[in-house]
Every structure is written in C-alpha cells, then in structure tokens.
Amino acid sequence: MRRPAPRLRRVSVVGVLLRTPRGAAAATWLALLLVAAAVSRAWTPLDPFTTDPYSAWLPPSAAHLLGTDSVGRDIASYLLAASATTVVVAVCAGLVAVVVGLGLAALGSLTARWVRDGVAVLIDVLVAFPTILVAMALAAAFGGSLTVVVVATGVGYGVTIARVSRSEIRRVVREDYVTAARASGAGTAAVLRRHVLPNIAPVFVVQLSLAMATSILAEAGLSFLGYGASAETASWGRLLSDLQKFLGVHPWTVLGPGLAITLTVLALNLLGDAVRDAADPRLRTRSPGRGGTLPPEPRAPGPSPADPARSPAPEVTS
Amino acid sequence: MRPARLLATVTAVVATAALVAGCTSGGAPGGSGSPDPDATVTVGLVLEPSDLDIRHTDGIALDQVLIDNVYQGLVGRTQDNEIVDVLASEHTVSDDGLTYAFTLQDGVTFHDGAAMTAADVVWSLQQVQSDETVAGHADLSAVSSISAPSDDTVVLTLSRPDSALLFALSGRAGLVLEQAATNDLSTTAVGTGPFELASWTQGDNLQLTRADDYWGTPAGVGTVVFRYVTDSSAAINATLSGDLDVQTAVDATLSSQLEGAEGISLETGKTTDKYTLAFNNAVAPFTDVRVRQALRMAIDNDALIAAVGGSAVDQGGPVPELDPGYTDLTSVDAYDPDAAKALLAEAGHADDLDLTLEYANFYPAAIGDVLTTQLAAVGVTLTVDQVDFTTWLDDVYTAPADGSPRDFQLSMVNHAETHDFGNWADPSYYWGYDSAPVQQLYAESLAATDPAVADQKLAAAAEIVSEDAPAEWLYTATTLTAVRDGVTGFPTSSTSTRLDLSELAATE
Amino acid sequence: MTRFLLGRLALFAVGLVVASVLIFATLRLLPGDVAQSLAGTNGSPAQVDAIRASLGLDRPVVVQYLDWLRGLVQLDLGRSLVTGTPVAEEVGEKLTVTLPLAGLSLVVGLLVGVPLGVVSALRHRRASGALLGVAAQVLAAVPVVWAGMLLIALFGVTLRLLPTQGFPVDGWDEPGRALRSLVLPALTIGLVEGAVLFRFTRSAAIGALDEDYVRAAAAKGQTTTRALVRHGLPNVLLSVVSVLGLQVAGLVVGAVVVEQLFALPGLGRMLVSDVGRRDLTKVQGELMTLTALVLTVGLLVDVVHRRLDPRLREGGE
C-alpha cells in the first residue's frame, strides 16, 4: 500500500524553527523588527528629520543613543523610522515576487505545450539578468523611487521563484497520488489546492524569505546610489549614502545602519534555511549531530546550474 | 594539510602584496629648493564650463580659467578687487566722467604671433557694445563711442557717467581679442595672456602652457592642469594622494582631513559667493512684506553656517564685504523665531504655509534639511526639491516665453559674481523685485563721478533692499584652498570667479 | 557536445534579443516624450519637433528598434543625448576599469571561498567548521556598500595603507598605482561573493565526502582530507564552475555600487550618472553592454562546465 503524500504539518515547522538556536535568534530579530516598525509609526525618541547643526556629530549619549549625524539628526530615531521602510519594501517585494513567480510558474507548467516551452525558455533567459540593471532601467524611465526598487526586485526574484516552483510543480504533478486523484475525477483546481500547493509550500516559503532578503539588500544599494528612497523617507541605505561623504572624518558612524541591514538579511536567510531543513530532511547538508552518516544527497545526472532551491544563499543584489 | 597550507600561503601573499603596495606609495611631500620654471601644477576645480566661448557662453567657470591667464583686458583687478592696468600702461578718467582714455602697452602680441594694435582693442570693445548676445554688453550701455585717436591710445566716450565701467572693463566687457583671428571660440582661445590654451578634454581636464613670447613677465610654471572634481571627498582624496597640487573650494565639513596632513597647508580667503535664498516676489504669499520678513527672521544663519562647516560669514544684505557699498546689515530681520511667528499670524498665515524650495543638486543637502527644520519651528512646512542645474535654470531662472510669472516659490543659488548689485535694480531678474527708490539710487550711484559718493548711494540702496526682504542672504562663503608645500603664488580670494596664475611658482 | 553547444548558443542569442527588446521598450516607450524633456519647459513646439526629427524619434517604434539593433551588431551604440559624443567609445574606455575590477573580484572570491569551503567541509562536525559556516552566513548578509565602507574606514582612514577612493588620472600607464586603487574595491566585492562561493563549495564538498569513491579511498588508509582532495575535488570544483555563471551577475551589481563608493571611472559609475541625467541613449548602450557581458560569461561557463563534466559528455566526443 502506498503512503499518502508527506503533508507538511505546520506545527512541526514552527516547532523546529524555534528549537534550533539559529532559528530562534532569527525569529526573535524579525519579531523585534516588526515591533520597531510598528512603534516607529507612532513614536520615535526624537524626530528623525529635525536638524540641529550645533549638535552635529555628537557621540552616543543618553539623549542620543547612537549619536548624531552631520546636521545633528538623531541617528537612533532615524534608524527606527527606517525600519518601517524596510518592512514595507520587504513585504511588498515579497508579494510581487510571489505573484509574478506563481503566475509564470503556472503558465510554465499547466498550459499547452508550446506555451510551456516558450515560458521555460523565457524564464531561463530572464533569470540571468541582474536585478540592479532592471532597477536602473526603470529609474532611467521613471526616476528613482521605492516603487522602482520593489518592482525590480519583485520581478527579478519572481522569475527565480517561477523557475523553482515550475520544476517543483512538475515533480509533484508526476507523483502517484496526483495521478490517483486525477483518475478518481478530481479537477485541476482541486488537485492544485489539495496536493500541489501544500507540497511546494516549503520550497516556496524558503524562496519568499530569500526574496525579502534580496529586496532589502537591493533597497540599501539603490538608495545608496540615489535611486531608491527619496529624501523624505527614512531608509538605512539612504543614511549610508549620507554618511559616505564623511568617511574620512567620521568613519565609524556607518556601523549603525549597516548592522541593521546585515542583521535583518541574516535573519531572513537563517529563517529560510531553517524552514528548508525542517520541511525536507533530504535537503539537509549538515550532520544531524547524532552520529552515523548522512544518506547521500540525491543527485540527478546533469544538475541544472545554480538551482536556487539548492542554493544556500540569495543572489547578492546590493 | 594541503588546503589549510594553501590558504595560509595565499593569505600571506595577498597581505604582503597589499602592505608592499601600501609602503611604496607616493613620493615624499613637496620638496624644498628653488622653483622649477618648467613645473606642472595640477589644480582641482569644481564646475567645468560647457564650452569656452568667452563671448557668448555665460558662467564664471570660463572667467575662472581663461581671464588673466589666456585673455586679458585693458585693466584687471587684484585679489582685493582694486583696479590695475594690464594691457593699458595707464588710464585716465575725465572729471565729468564722460571720457576714458587708455594708453596701450608696447609690444603686446597674441598667441598666434600677431601684434596687438589699437584697432584690435576698438574692435573688441565694439563687439561687446553693439551685440546684445555678447557677454558684458549691458556693462557698456553708457558708452556712446569707442575710438583710437592714435596707435597707442584708445578713448571711450560716454553718454552719461558710469562709476561701474572701469570695474566692468576688468571683466568680460574689456577683454581684447584679435580681430583677424578665425579660431573656433567654443574650443580654442587666442589671447594675450601669460598662458596659452593647450588642450581641453571635456569631463576631465583643461591644460594651459606658458606662452613663451609673452609681452610681460613670463609665467613661473610651464604647465597648469585644471582637473574638475565635483565630488568634495574625492577632491580631498586626490589632494591627499598627491594627484592635486592645489585644491580650490575645499569642503569645510571635511577640511579636518587636510588639517593634519603633511606637506599641505590650508589657506582661507574671502569671496563674493553670496548664497541667496530668493523669494518669488511676483506671486503670493511673497507679495506680502510681512511674510518675507517673517521667513527671514525664522532663519538662523549661524546654524546654517555651522551646518556647512563654519567657513562662511553672515550677510544681512545684498552687498558682500569685498564689494563697494558694503555695510553690516545683519541686524535687519535677524534671527527671531517668536517675532517671525507673530508676524506670520498677523499676515494671516499662522500655520498654513506650504512652500517649496528648489535648488541645484551640487549644493549640500544639509542646507535644505536645516531650512526645513527652522521653518517648521515657525509653522511653515517646507518641501525641498534638489534638481540638476539645467532644470533649475528652466524652472527658476529663465523667464517663461508667454510672460507669465515664473513658477517657483523659494530658490537658492550661489551668486558668485562680484559687483552684481545691478540685479536688484532689474525688475526682470528672476526674483521679480521692483523698487523705484532702489532703481533711482542705483542710477545715481552709477552717475556719480566721485567713488565715495557712488559707494554711499549703493549702501543706501542696499539698506532699502535688505529692509524690503525680497530674499534672505543665507551666508557669504569663505573659501578654503589647499596648497601643497612648495607651490607659491596661488590666489586665495574670490577663487571661484578669478584665478590669476601669473605669479604661480612651484618647486620640483 | 555539438548539439548542446548549438542549443546553448541559441539560448544565448534569444537572451540577447529578449534583453534588447526589454531595454529598448523600457527606455524608449516608458519615459514619455523625450524630445519635450530635452527642449525644456520653455521649448516651443517647433523646437520640440526639430529635436524629435534629429533624434529619429518620429519614425515608427519598430523601425527605431531595428535601427538600434543594426547599430548594436556593428558595435555602434549611438550618441549621447546630452553631449552628442559616441557612446561606444566611452563604454570602451570605462570597461578598462570595470573589467579588471570584475576579474580581480572574481579571483578574490574564488581564493577566499573555495579553499575555506573545502576546509569547512572537512571540519563540518567540529566547532571550527561550524564557525566558518556562521562567518560566511554573516558575510553573505552584508550589503556590498557597507563592506566597502568598513574596509575604507579600516584600511584607508585608520591605517592609511591604501587609497580610499579614486583611480589614477593616467589610468593603466602606471599599472602599480592603478592596481593599488583596485585592491579595496576588489576585496569588497570579492569577500561578499566569496561568502556565497564558500557555501556552495562547502555543500558540494560535504556531498563529495559521502561519495563511494571517497569513502573507498578513506577505507584504504588515506586521510579523509587526501581522499577528498584527490578524488572529490574535481567534482567539487565542477559544482563551483556551474555556479559561477550566476555569480557574475553579482559581480556586475557589486561593480556598479563599488565604483560609486570608490569613485572609480568605470562603466557602473557612468551608468549611475547617466540615469541621473536621463541620457537614455547612453543608458541603453550601457545596459546592453552589461547584459551582454553577463550572458556571455554565463555561456562560457556553461560550455566549460559541460566540457569538464565527464558524466555529461556524450559518448565518443
């Protein structure tokens, strides 16, 4: 008798997540970030944009937890306000990536053969395009803005998601239980809902967290170049850009914003890793710690180069 | 274990290479010893001219490199803005101020070998006087005739006295070009100065070489290379690494990087760089003088000066210290936020003003940020729009073709020109300030034959302007120049408008 | 092999065409009336029409595209909208900075990532291996900009060992100085890329440790290290090669940001300033050049990978 499809029990994922120290740390940081973003909309210690040139470059103190910048703005308040921007960009980019990714993946696996093949080629071609070039093209056409960042990263990573999802969809669609379901009369939608989606879900969540991490790095880089957040929007990347001019005189003020970005991206990466490990033990690459050898990694002949599902790190887009 | 050893070796090699490269960096700082007549001096400037047409292209970027060095006029000016004779060996002005006579120097030649004649001088001046597209045309408006009664004399006859004429002749209006020359002015230059224009690579550098047949004392260096670096920290790095011998317009917020540097000294100098926050006087709410005064009182100039590094002075009115007619007007509409709020309330705009400030993006963002905070403190919401210079020219400076008022509210720009009070007596200038008393006083100042009287009239006019508050004078910059040890004779004042390099000398 | 080559070349060509269409569409069709913005708000309709005609913008879109495509094939990228100078010349000049930077960054990335990845795999059950893994994880999360700033702060400002910014005016005439200016930038990009390569190498090496032939060699008495290095390394390196293609995209990205941070006169920096000036023709040319570079490297990498992988070679080739 064949086992039913291994369904993912949501409880176990979260449980595993919080049990590993890395997963717990990542989840904690992200929770803190969400809280900070929410709080900053209502309150910050000082107004992040108020200047006070007589108080420029103050070292950290009780009044200014991280000191002040070249025109006397409170860096801590600014970082807090910018966390909201980060959350918004990450979530929006993630959404765009998901929509684009699923859409393209569906087009590429559930339609007529010629459409499928055409989309497959298109996906393979688009995957190679660096996101930043997409962003620069849009910025040249429309001027820089956070929307450009979100669209560019969302579309850029959406194509990667499409590629991964497509191969996953095709894999799952060939499984016996799907054939059985089809044979027993279930429609495509029902098959999708009950069998395909839950099984590609783990890969999907991993890709989503990587997409969000990539979008944060992209926002930092593009805001640094001047094509991301505008002057009225607090942004970690923009603060880096403002501080760049003064690297020769106040080099270590860049620690604040840079650390914020790094920790957030790290947390998202670790989250993705943890979900992947929890969801499918076959994909684990580390020792389980209890002795004994690992089963060898499944290796198909002719690996597709840089299959993002097996990639442990996101594209560096900053 | 091979991988570990390989790794260690690689790390060692890379680290050693970096250290070796670091230690064999740039040579010893500028040497001692006598000046080298064939030295090459590299000078860092900021804004590059779009082309070199001294007759038709506006912009002090051309004056900066070409006047005094390549082109010369009948008279010139010292760093203290005093008039000196250059191509004229002497000049006289009649008592009624209507006749100016210049005796020409002997043996002056152009860079192409031709001798300068009185005819060249007359032709040059007539070009400016008759053609309104030529830069400096307005300065010669009082001149009715230009003639050369003898081979070495040129006489200007005026229809009315003009106290600003002599100074104008030290600028674009008085330059002498060769009548017979046919060179393309936008990329080449033929003049009488101590340097010849050797080459211009747009976007990179402009080179001058010593003119060996110069009629006066030859230049002290063989070549001057002007490099245009718009990024202020890049410029400082270039100075520290030795790529620049002299750096003009050092950013005061970063100057501490140069202060301790070996072999480099920082010089301070005065300028007429007036950072002016102009109101669009033709449109509401700026038609109400109370609003204008309130905005002036809301601004703490000292804070702004601190924000740009401290190398600037407060200026309460339109005339800077180096120009005639200067008096200290800083007490007019001085910083007083409470009075500003009261005045705004009286004018009916207690907290409903939503204004936009537009300025070019090569100015520091700090200015806009600080102004936003200061105006917010009196209930005015300011939005800052930094645009590129062409857009600013389009939006603010150029008059709309259909005669409608210009479409801006607040604008900030550095009016670097000297002796430019005339803009306040010109109702068609972009800020739209039209005051009969000021125009009257200015005309009287021009008509005065006694320089002291001219000064007095200007000062009176300036005071009226300041009290009318058509703009706020944020500050007048003091300029910092970084000079490598061994380089002498580099001007330190008004370096954005003129750079007379005839005394430049360098060792090694 | 030939069949693969032809197929891969076809994919490459399709990629170039798709890129050209997308770039052209984004930059010609989306920004609105280019002629109007060049003439300025005060331009008369006659001036706008004149500009439009001189730039050939009044012709049908398809004709404009084909014209541009024809120019691309002849390596003519048109003229700048702002200065009128030929784009291809300037692109070529800037590439003399960007290509060495990308190359150096790749070398640094490989030197850092691959050996450390192998070491970490050999020690993956011990603390040192785990530590390396964590370090790489952190490094991969660092924005390239910040990494550069920290390196400048450390080596340029505090220790004053290397130039903090800029590239010698004479370019490569003084190769020593030019290389010195590229050390920090290449390190910046290389370290972050190296972190990514580290993780690939590590996972590939761990996988190799479980291969039969490696275990067999270990059983015969060789140390695990020697067994891995002598038998497993080729496969590990093969996996790394397969991933290099995508990493080039990361190098391009890094170059754009790093050139801006270090004030290097390269293609990335020129792209950033041209986007700011809305010089659409130049941006088109620059984007096309960069995309073509990425696709070309991807093609070369795939071909090399295919050539080297014994399992993928068809019999007799």
What percent of chain B is modeled with pLDDT above 70?
94
Q: What is the ipTM of this complex?
A: 0.86
Residue B65's identity, in one-letter code, is V
B interface mutation test: which of A46, A47, A51, A235 has the most B CBs within 10 A? A51
Residue A310 pLDDT = 28
Q: Which of B12-16, B334-338, C263-267 has the lowest mean pLDDT?
A: B12-16
More confident residue, C294 or C164: C294
Highest-pLDDT range among B45-59, B94-108, C65-79, C298-312: B94-108
∠ CA C49-C51-C55, rounded to 5°: 115
At B62 the three-state DSSP class reads helix
Task: Supply the range of the domain harboring residue A30.
Answer: 13-53+72-283
Give CA–CA dist C293/A130, Å, rounded: 11
CA distance A282 to chain B (A): 29
Q: How far apart are CA C217 and CA C224, in angstroms?
A: 8
State how many domains chain A has: 1
Could you tell me if residue A174 is inside a domain?
yes
| pLDDT (0 to 100) of residue B190 | 94
For residue C63, the distance in angstroms to the closest alpha carbon of chain A comes to 20
- Which range has the top average pLDDT, A276-285, B431-440, C68-77, C121-130? B431-440
To 5 degrees, how large is the angle CA B83–CA B209–CA B487?
A: 70
Report the pLDDT value the prediction gives residue B7, as an integer from 0 to 100. 60
Tell me the range of C46-55, C67-76, C77-86, C140-149 where mean pLDDT is highest: C140-149
Give B-chain residues touching C176 at CB under 8 angstroms: 21, 24
Which helix H or strand E contains B452, and what residues bound it? helix B451-468
Distance CA B282, CA B434 (A): 9
Nearest to C162 among B22, B238, B395 (CB): B22
pLDDT of residue B14: 55
**pLDDT single digits (tens) A275-306:** 877 766 554 443 333 333 333 333 222 222 33
Looking at chain A, which subunits does it touch, using at least 3 CB pairs closer than 8 Å as the criterion?
A: B, C
Residue A61 domain flag: no
Question: B223-279 pLDDT, tens per residue?
Answer: 999 999 888 888 998 898 888 999 999 999 999 989 888 899 999 999 999 999 999
What per-residue confidence (pLDDT) applies to C218?
72
| All partners of chain B with 3 or more CB pairs under 8 angstroms | A, C
Record: contact B373-A51, CB cut-off 8 A: yes
Rounded CA-CA distance B65/B90 in Å is 25
Q: Is the pLDDT of residue B21 over 50?
A: no
- Per-residue pLDDT, B23: 45
In a domain, A303, yes or no: no
Mean pLDDT computed over C141-169: 85
Quick one: average pLDDT of C4-13? 87
Closest Cβ–Cβ partner in B6, B18, B233 for C162 = B18
Q: What is the mean pLDDT of residues B189-204?
A: 91
| pLDDT of res. B6 | 60
The pLDDT of residue B410 is 96
Confidence of residue B475 (pLDDT cuts 50, 70, 90): very high
Q: Which residues of C touch B24 (CB under 8 A)?
A: 176
Which residue stretches of chain C are H helix?
Answer: 2-24, 34-39, 45-55, 61-73, 87-122, 127-140, 144-151, 175-209, 212-219, 224-227, 233-261, 267-276, 280-308
pLDDT digits (tens, 9 = 90+) for C226-265: 777 777 777 788 888 878 877 887 788 788 999 999 888 8
The answer to whether the beta carbons of residues C96 and C172 sit under 8 Å apart is yes
Is A51 an interface residue toward C (CB < 8 Å)? Answer: no
**Which residue shows structure tokens 């050369």?**
B148
Residue with tokens 């996988």: C207
Q: For B16, list phi and psi in degrees, rounded to 5.
A: -60, -45
B231-235, B281-285, B375-379 — which is least confidently predicted? Answer: B231-235
pLDDT recorded at residue C317: 38
- Which one of C22, C243, C290 has the shortest CB-CB distance to A305? C243
pLDDT per position as a tens digit, B404-450: 888 899 999 999 999 999 999 999 999 999 999 999 999 999 999 88
Domain containing residue A111: CATH number: 1.10.3720.10
The pLDDT score that the predictor gives to residue B26 is: 43
Hey, are the CB atoms on B257 and A248 less than 8 Å from each other? Answer: yes
CATH superfamily of the domain spanning C95-308: MetI-like (1.10.3720.10)
Give the per-residue pLDDT at B16: 54
Check: CB of residue A71 under 8 Å from CB of residue A51: yes
Counting as low any pLDDT under 70, the low residues of chain A are: 1-17, 186-189, 192, 279-318
Count of C-beta atoms within a 10 Å radius of residue B128: 24
d(CA B3, CA A111): 50
pLDDT over 50 at B37, yes or no: yes
Contact C287, A130 (CB under 8 A): no
Q: What is the pLDDT of residue C59?
A: 82
CA distances from C295 to A19, A124, A250, A308 (A): 43, 11, 41, 18
A25 within a domain of the structure (yes/no): yes
CB contact under 8 A, B233 and A231: no
Q: Which residue of A has its CA nearest to C33?
A: A141
